[in-house]
Structure 1
Amino acid sequence: MEKKERLLILDGNSLMNRAFYALPPLTNSDGIHTNAVYGFTTMLLKMKEEIAPDYIVCTFDRSAPTFRHNEYKDYKAGRKRMPEELAEQFPIVKDLLYKLAIDIFEIDGFEADDLIGTLSKFAEEKGIEVYIVTGDRDALQLASDTTKVVITKKGITEKEIYDRTRMIEEMGVTPTQFIDVKGLMGDSSDNIPGVPGVGEKTAYKLIKEYGSVENVLQNIDKISGKKLKENLTENSEQAIFSKKLATIMREVPIEIDLDSIKSKENYDEEAVKRIFIDLQFKTLIDKLPHSKDFKEENNEIKVEYKLVQSINELKNLCNIIVSKFKNSLLYVTFKLLNENIYSKSSIEKIFINCGEENFIVSLQEILNENNEETISCLKEIFENGEIQKVCHDIKMPHTILHKMGVDLNGVKFDTKIAAYLIDSSRGDYDLNTLIQQYLKIILKDEEEREVKEVSLLKEVYSELEKQIKSLDMEQLFYEVELPLTTVLASMESYGFKVDKDMLTHIGEKFTKEIEKVQKEIYSLSEEEFNINSPKQLGKILFEKLDLPVIKKTKTGYSTNAEVLEALEGKHPIIEKITYYRQLTKLYSTYVEGLKNVIDEDGKIHSSFNQTVTTTGRLSSTEPNLQNIPIKYEMGREIRKVFVPNNNVSIILSADYSQIELRVLAHIAGDENLINAFKHHADIHTKTASEVFRVPIEEVTKTMRSNAKAVNFGIVYGIGDFSLAKDIKVSRKEAKEYIDTYFERYPNVKKYMDDTVKKAEKDMFVTTILNRRRFIPEIANSKKMVKALGERLAMNSPIQGSAADIIKLAMVKVYNELEKRQLKSTLILQVHDELILNVYKDELEQVRTIVKDSMENVMPLSVPLEVDISEGENWYEAK
């Protein structure tokens, strides 16, 4: 039998909508939202591959009213306005369709469904098989023996295909009768009224029995159920009208030219690839039907290289580098094994480009042959500061080299760090991505890709170096972020010792405390239940204890943290549940969790992430030591397990005092705030005096606490609603506090307003050292999203500048300790706090170094103050 020609029809609006809500928010380096485009394109390419259509079109709705709106003014009334983040992606996807030579059908007065109906009817009459791809089940009425409706399910990964036969088998109605079902039950998403009291189950039952809406209405007397009869009788006209509204029109006056809608293989593939690169869709490039080479025959880049697999070959390479490349640049990348497990992490291969030559060093093979001589060669190359190295993502290889006893000197540039500084909002800074973005070269994911990457590293470096300079980020890059990689490598390698006996003891304390709180919850609820089950907890709180329902989900009552916060003070059980949750989280994360990451040396070796946060702050993983909650004493107790490296050392903690408020005073240039810090005033008491208009000596503890909330709230762009909630006052009072604050500190208000205006214009804000954060939210048409953008604009320069200061302090402290050849060392950073393992005979010297380095790290208009304390463990030092 001759294969029928096929037409693929894409429901543009439906698929874009489905993709937008199915995928997490995605943006490219320009801050453009891309998740809907990515999902739509993925589906398009998948359908093209699976269906192999002879013809292909895409339909879209227009914003103009349709004939249905003219007949029924409430049609689709109440439907939420399309989010701006989705709306901005439609022009992109239409441009992409144009580049793919796919015809677009859209016309005022008609919906995409009507165009789909008309196109499918035209194709059926021509004997062409039709595939309609949509997320909208309304299209099921178009299914037939030759038209298949492909319904996307579970986001963009699964689908169901319906033709006439499957409709009858599964639903018991024909595609045409599916319209009658909609006429009876209505459709809340389109605001089609239907018949009140008739749900999906009843509608299907009636249509299966009587065949159509009209026949149902003619047989009302035979239908059981008094109320159902009344509803059908009273709403008979509405039922007929609802059926009409639900019927897809198949006679839209459009010209259809089969030649025009032919599936074309000679589209502008280079233009499509450029769109993919701009949108950073690297995984989609190879999915194009016949992916031509984007540059140099899509990276049929022929790279000559030499394999270095023996100790003798490594020695020869070492001699070449030392003799030829002193005072010149060496380009180096690494392939790691188990990089997230410190004890098992190792360097598998080293890729080196020197001059025109490329080398792949099979390090593990050579280490197995002769460990001692291999280490000696590595020292010659990597410890020689005169051999300048350009690397990509050097921190982890540096940590591993440190563990091997090899120092890393002479790192001139790290392309990953540079790319992060240029745009901190991206999640992916791997070298392959940067090659695509900056060189417009697509490297196939093949065995030799890494050696190609190192051969192109010079060009990537050249591009990024120019950008760092043009963005005035040279100080931030060369004095803060690049040297910080050395500090972090040292901290990761050194680790933080854990007292296992203390960990066991604290674990037992936690278990007893959890059991105690559990019994208290059971006593207050007068029954035992699974506290960890939202369903069971919801029944206790909202049915048995009759507390006000705050929020419901599809599965029942919500009992999340926000709900518990709203219920605070309404019953003593709420506080106990909150405490119970904190305890169980702490126990699983830090008591049980720490046991799994203690290394053979009795230490934990956290990974410090330098290119993750948009603010510039460091984060840590395996484990995360920056998130230990200290609201409760049991949380603080976790710190008792972190102890000095040996019995001749102690733990020293150095903590910046109110650094973000000091940064605010400096950036805003507010004389009142600056003077308060210059005179070493208690800033919260001073603010309380100003806000509550009382003399300083009359400020109460509550006033100071509320003023503290105002101070820190202002830094984060807090509004009266949130402040009122935080300090439990009326919204009116909270507004008065904020207004009074701005009266007393007028330049702070001016800074906030000016920063928001500048962010609206530039779409980004900067710190003291020109760290840049993009804020696309500030241009959003949704009030809540825009308000978030405004808060980010106010806070990011402050939080980011504080991050710059603490990082620069880390570099200065580390360098000074190294310069004096002291045994004491930095082992942890938690936001504004530095933790050091200090040898007791070096204590006074280290205290001076740390205090001087941190307080004089950067000239500000206010003094930086550091609180230093020591102890036999982290708990005591804090």
Structure 2
Amino acid sequence: MKKYLLVDGNSLLFRAFYSSFGRVTLTTTSGQPTNAVYSFINMLFNINTNNNYDCIVVAFDKGKKTFRHDKLPTYKDGRQKTPSELVTQFPIVREFLSNANIKWYEIDNYEADDIIGTLAKKLENEDDVIVHILTSDQDMYQLITKKVFVLAPQVGTSDILIYDESKLQEKWGIKPYQVSDYKGLRGDQSDNIKGVVGIGEKTAKELLNEYDNIENIYQNIESIKGAKKEKLINGKEDAYLSKEIATIFSDVDLDFNLECTNIDYNSLKTFFQKYEMQSLVKKYCQNTPNIIKETNLDYKVLNKWEEKYSCDENSIYIELLNDNYHMPDIIGISISNIKGNFYLNLNSSEVDIFNWNKPQLDESFQEFILSKKFCSYDIKKTITSLKNIGYKINSSNFTYDMMLATYVLNSSIKSTFDSHLLFLKPDSELKTFDEVFGKGAKKTKDVNPKDKEVYLVEKSIFINELKNVVIEKLIASEQFELYEFMELPFSKVLIDMENEGILIDTEVLKRQTEDIILLINSLEKDLKNIFKKDITDDFNIGSPKQLKELLYVKLGLPDLNKGSTDKETLEKLVQFNPSIEKILLIRKYQKLYSTYLKGFEKYIYSDKKIHTIFNQTLTSTGRLSSIYPNIQNISIRDEMQREFRKIFICDEDYIFLSFDYSQIELRVLADVANVKNLIDSFKSGKDVHEEAAKKIFKIPDNEKVSSEMRRIAKTFNFGILYGLSDFGLSKDLNITMKEAKEYIKSYYESFPEILDFKKDVINFANSEGYVKTMANRRRYIYELQSSNFMIKQFGERAAVNAVIQGTAADILKVAMIEIWEILLKNFTEAKMVAQIHDEIIFKVKSNEVDKLIPEIEYIMSAAYNKILDKYNHCRSSRVSLDVNYSIGKNWLDLK
């Protein structure tokens, strides 16, 4: 028996795109997004592996107009525009299919549904055939027969529901041939098919169960009573038209020569390399993709370090089973130097590092670590992991970090060893972590010892071999000083911050957790009372499926976005039913509970502190982020999240001291673009937003501006850094596009230097391929090379933003490095504990506060001029940096 797979190409590619949405690292070095293509390939190959199809065929829509638009011009009107990042990937998917020797169709005037319907009809007439249709489009249910089945993906393609006649009857209560009648009666908002006004899902099923189809319904219209009859009579024309539009055309003229699919992996290797999908080369284009190749690599396995192998210069690599190096589960350590390559077993396990019996230390290794120099990949991870299993570390002995150096070279590359190695050495065949140790629930360090040893030793070898290559590249790109004098010492600042941690008031956390649970329970009880006829006791508001049924089936609310229950959709539904506001509140409180209250509990160690990890190499602009837990996204605007800040407290006899830069990015913009009116406002100490409002609205100096005018000006002052458009402004301020255009025109007339600056930055980026901060931090703008207008526009916004935001990030780093050095030298009791955007937080002994405040203020105020001096700009800043401070026993007191 032959098995055929007919794939709805548009449906699968959309699913692939949104399943990987936000994985911005999946782009080529030329800026071409490939996330959807990557996921499409994996989904298609996974389902083929599980079913071993004889033939695969993919069908695509071609163009926006089909024969259905001739009958219903508004067909599919109102659908959201396809994201530009996805549009550019459609031709790449077709290129993949051609290279893979997989047949694909697209035909003018028809949809993919019609092509698949035609193929399914023809295949059904053959003997010993089973046809599977892979799609998320429910219209395809009408094609189900004894030989034809619809595969509906639930999560990716790992969870698939197989629809046959009985499954459809269970789901919709109708037969496959009734699907178009069903759509004809109830309509389909996602396709803008009207149906019969007033006839919903329940009534449509009842009518079809009694009369079988629309034609029979109208032949027996006199037997139908009441309002239902009236609705049917009034909607007769719409019913027939809607059914016709929803019916799949199964007689498309196409070539029907479907041969067995023999996937050409040799051609695919070229395709994968072209689009920089190295992991797919390894996964699909090697004979033994999951087995470490035999190697003649020369190395020694040591259970204890031997002094005779020590050298003055060494490269060291530590591999952990988990990402959180504050809970280190060390797999092994590799060391390479001129005396050889070594794999070192150390005793460690995943435990609470702040309250456990350390393993017996290797005294030879301890002496080695304290007395020699080391190169590594991710110094923070390396030093912290060793500290956490009991070793004393002198961080000044770690003189080179491959991760930081490669990040400085190109911040757009994902900061993993695999990605950085591929960037530096494209012909490398080093296996990935997942290939050696598994992923997810299958991840384990109990693998073949040889595989593990080779994997680690090769990494320490690469660190050593590529060091000079990286440094030469940094010098050639004038970025060595940025790496050597900013990023490398800053990593050691972060090590101390992370190790110090922040004390948590567990009693306040417990009380807030209990309060939020009571609040959620109360709201859920209110909802059940309001909707008691429509929901059962086991109703779960967190279930999109149950919520969708409540909103659109039981309550009959308008389906505004294809069954979506996201926040934006629910906010629009409040006007139809005010009680939806309670659902929004429950979601908000549940997020507060899961992300912050309950979410933080697992990160509180036995010292009652959290020890977050500050990501130094995640953003392309140089800004920090944090994980395990994330302490940088706690809103100060939301009252309940503000209250959550009470849990962060100081040790006894200490207080928090917070310093932040006021409007730092605006001040940087004023300086680098030499914006006269902004500079004058800052120098005179005036309200910069009020002054901008006066310029935009042409208000005389002796008159006051309204709060609304100031709000608009503030939107401009900050939005201009992020590529404010007339469309975005009209949406933000709820004004017309015409008004938005006029405001923007007036703004640039008032601050003409900003427009000139933006043009200069974009011209430079187009010419050189990158932009740079005042400290020579580069961001490569690959998007400018795209032929897609939307992607190119994003690139222009990113270019301008990178110069300003990146320079502001550099200022913070320069200030923090100098403050850290001062604290170590003169304030042994004071500790830097966190950086949150433009704010630095310290814990300080009360008797040191008065002495410390002027020191920190001076350092932070002078940081920008130090950059201008260090990187040879031969001038001082045109504006001063405004530094504010606050004091408190908890973080809430700091704002």
TM class by smaller structure: 0.7 to 0.9
Distance in 1 separating the partners of 2:300 and 2:292: 23
TM-score, length-normalised on structure 1? Answer: 0.76
Task: Note if contact 1:825-1:837 (Cα within 8 Å) is conserved in structure 2.
Answer: yes
Q: 1:161 to 1:733 in 2, by over 3 A?
A: closer
1:771 aligned to 2:778?
Answer: yes
Distance in 2 separating the partners of 1:629 and 1:80: 30
Q: SS of the counterpart of 2:396?
A: coil
1:334 aligned to 2:318?
Answer: yes
Task: Note if contact 1:9-1:132 (Cα within 8 Å) is conserved in structure 2.
Answer: yes
Show the 5 A alignment for 1:586-605.
597-601=603-607, 603-605=609-611
The aligned counterpart of 2:674 is 669
Task: Supply the AA of the counterpart residue of 1:358.
Answer: N
Task: Supply the AA of the counterpart residue of 1:454.
Answer: S
The aligned counterpart of 1:20 is 17
Query: How many Å apart are 1:184 and its aligned residue?
Result: 5.5
Task: Supply the AA of the counterpart residue of 1:608.
Answer: F
Q: SS of the counterpart of 2:400?
A: strand
Which of 480, 489, 495 in structure 2 is aligned with 1:483? 489
Show the 5 A alignment for 1:280-295.
288=284, 291-292=286-287
- The percent of aligned pairs where both chains have the same amino acid is 33
CA displacement, residues 574-612 of structure 1 (integer Å, 9 cap, x when unaligned): 999999999998899778877765544454433222123
Task: Note if contact 2:134-2:151 (Cα within 8 Å) is conserved in structure 1.
Answer: yes
Distance in 2 separating the partners of 1:141 and 1:101: 29
The aligned counterpart of 1:262 is 260
Which of 436, 444, 447 in structure 2 is aligned with 1:445? 436
Distance in 2 separating the partners of 1:794 and 1:281: 29
Task: Note if contact 1:83-1:782 (Cα within 8 Å) is conserved in structure 2.
Answer: no
The aligned counterpart of 1:398 is 383
The aligned counterpart of 1:320 is 309
Q: Which runs of 5+ in 1 are unaligned?
A: 536-548
Q: After the TM superposition, which of the residue ranges 200-209 and 550-559 deviates more from structure 2? A: 550-559
> Please, what is the CA RMSD of the aligned residues?
5.5
The aligned counterpart of 1:362 is 345
Q: SS of the counterpart of 2:418?
A: helix
TM-score, length-normalised on structure 2? Answer: 0.75
Q: 1:151 to 1:581 in 2, by over 3 A?
A: closer
The aligned counterpart of 2:7 is 10
Q: SS of the counterpart of 2:395?
A: coil
**Structure whose CA Rg is larger:** 1
1:92 aligned to 2:87?
Answer: no
Q: SS of the counterpart of 1:364?
A: coil
Query: How many Å apart are 1:233 and its aligned residue?
Result: 9.5
1:308 aligned to 2:309?
Answer: no
Distance in 2 separating the partners of 1:550 and 1:139: 24
CA displacement, residues 161-206 of structure 1 (integer Å, 9 cap, x when unaligned): 3456766787676544545555555555555666666555555555
The aligned counterpart of 2:129 is 129
Which of 386, 401, 415 in structure 2 is aligned with 1:429? 415
The aligned counterpart of 1:545 is none
Distance in 2 separating the partners of 1:869 and 1:165: 68
Q: SS of the counterpart of 1:85?
A: helix
Q: 1:772 to 1:218 in 2, by over 3 A?
A: same
Query: How many Å apart are 1:398 and its aligned residue?
Result: 1.8
- How many residues are aligned here? 829
Distance in 2 separating the partners of 1:589 and 1:125: 55
Which of 877, 881, 885 in structure 2 is aligned with 1:861? 877
Task: Note if contact 2:508-2:647 (Cα within 8 Å) is conserved in structure 1.
Answer: no
Distance in 1 separating the partners of 2:286 and 2:698: 71
Task: Note if contact 1:367-1:374 (Cα within 8 Å) is conserved in structure 2.
Answer: no
Distance in 2 separating the partners of 1:121 and 1:672: 71
The aligned counterpart of 2:404 is 417
The aligned counterpart of 1:148 is 149
Task: Note if contact 1:609-1:620 (Cα within 8 Å) is conserved in structure 2.
Answer: yes
Task: Supply the AA of the counterpart residue of 2:103.
Answer: D
The aligned counterpart of 1:539 is none
Task: Supply the AA of the counterpart residue of 2:23.
Answer: L
Show the 5 A alignment for 1:599-614.
599-601=605-607, 603-614=609-620
Q: SS of the counterpart of 1:133?
A: strand
Task: Note if contact 2:282-2:289 (Cα within 8 Å) is conserved in structure 1.
Answer: no
Query: How many Å apart are 1:473 and its aligned residue?
Result: 3.2
Task: Note if contact 1:55-1:262 (Cα within 8 Å) is conserved in structure 2.
Answer: yes
Task: Supply the AA of the counterpart residue of 2:754.
Answer: V
Task: Note if contact 2:195-2:235 (Cα within 8 Å) is conserved in structure 1.
Answer: no
Distance in 2 separating the partners of 1:587 and 1:207: 46
Q: 1:862 to 1:85 in 2, by over 3 A?
A: same
The aligned counterpart of 1:102 is 102
Task: Supply the AA of the counterpart residue of 1:334.
Answer: I
Q: After the TM superposition, which of the residue ranges 743-752 and 333-342 deviates more from structure 2? A: 333-342
Task: Supply the AA of the counterpart residue of 1:429.
Answer: S
Query: How many Å apart are 1:486 and its aligned residue?
Result: 0.9
CA displacement, residues 512-554 of structure 1 (integer Å, 9 cap, x when unaligned): 99999x99xx9xxxx9x9xx9999xxxxxxxxxxxxx999789
Q: SS of the counterpart of 1:828?
A: strand
Query: How many Å apart are 1:36 and its aligned residue?
Result: 2.9
The aligned counterpart of 1:37 is 37
Query: How many Å apart are 1:772 and its aligned residue?
Result: 1.2
Distance in 2 separating the partners of 1:580 and 1:74: 37
Task: Note if contact 1:472-1:770 (Cα within 8 Å) is conserved in structure 2.
Answer: no
Which of 245, 266, 272 in structure 1 is aligned with 2:268? 272
The aligned counterpart of 1:352 is 335
Distance in 1 separating the partners of 2:173 and 2:696: 71
Q: SS of the counterpart of 1:398?
A: helix
Query: How many Å apart are 1:668 and its aligned residue?
Result: 0.7
Q: Which runs of 5+ in 2 are unaligned?
A: 352-356, 438-446, 533-539, 544-556, 869-875
CA displacement, residues 224-258 of structure 1 (integer Å, 9 cap, x when unaligned): 567538846984797289448714223524251x5
Q: SS of the counterpart of 1:115?
A: helix
Distance in 1 separating the partners of 2:245 and 2:730: 52
Distance in 2 separating the partners of 1:49 and 1:534: 33
The aligned counterpart of 2:661 is 656
Q: 1:211 to 1:363 in 2, by over 3 A?
A: same
1:798 aligned to 2:783?
Answer: no
The aligned counterpart of 1:111 is 111
Distance in 1 separating the partners of 2:192 and 2:559: 25
Distance in 1 separating the partners of 2:183 and 2:587: 46
CA displacement, residues 440-484 of structure 1 (integer Å, 9 cap, x when unaligned): 525132431334433444466566556545654333322222221
Task: Note if contact 1:720-1:738 (Cα within 8 Å) is conserved in structure 2.
Answer: yes
Q: SS of the counterpart of 1:445?
A: helix
Distance in 2 separating the partners of 1:35 and 1:593: 29
Distance in 2 separating the partners of 1:13 and 1:61: 7
Q: 1:492 to 1:72 in 2, by over 3 A?
A: closer
Distance in 2 separating the partners of 1:843 and 1:20: 52
The aligned counterpart of 1:810 is 816
Q: 1:280 to 1:364 in 2, by over 3 A?
A: farther
Task: Note if contact 1:352-1:358 (Cα within 8 Å) is conserved in structure 2.
Answer: yes
Distance in 2 separating the partners of 1:367 and 1:375: 19
